[in-house]
Amino acid sequence: MNNNGNASVSEGQGFGMIIVAMMAGYEAKAREIFDGLFLYCKDYPSSINARNMAWKVNADGSRGGDNSAFDGDADITYGTHTLRDIGPPPADSSRLLRQD
């Protein structure tokens, strides 16, 4: 057991998004689960680049790491691309992929 308790990291969110997208067709609530993961990412943006998720969110909702982590950013982005098996992406997904 680690000292993170119930902390969440962006890499875990991305892994979840990829796995749920691959479950499309096998899990009736795949889209609902994916959207929940995606909205969680949006709720905790990085202070460096708001298109990315903060790399760590503590159990109490505070950020344990306000910057982003490339592995999490890449996993989340890959999850949104894998989503095409479920249907159209969430309306705000392009916000994560744009380079303004």
Active-site residues, by number, are 11, 71
Instruction: Classify residue 10 by burial, with Cβ atoms within 10 Å: 0-12, 13-18, 19+.
Output: buried
3-state secondary structure of 23: coil
- CA distances to 21, 36, 61, 85 from 93, rounded to whole Å, are 14, 13, 22, 15
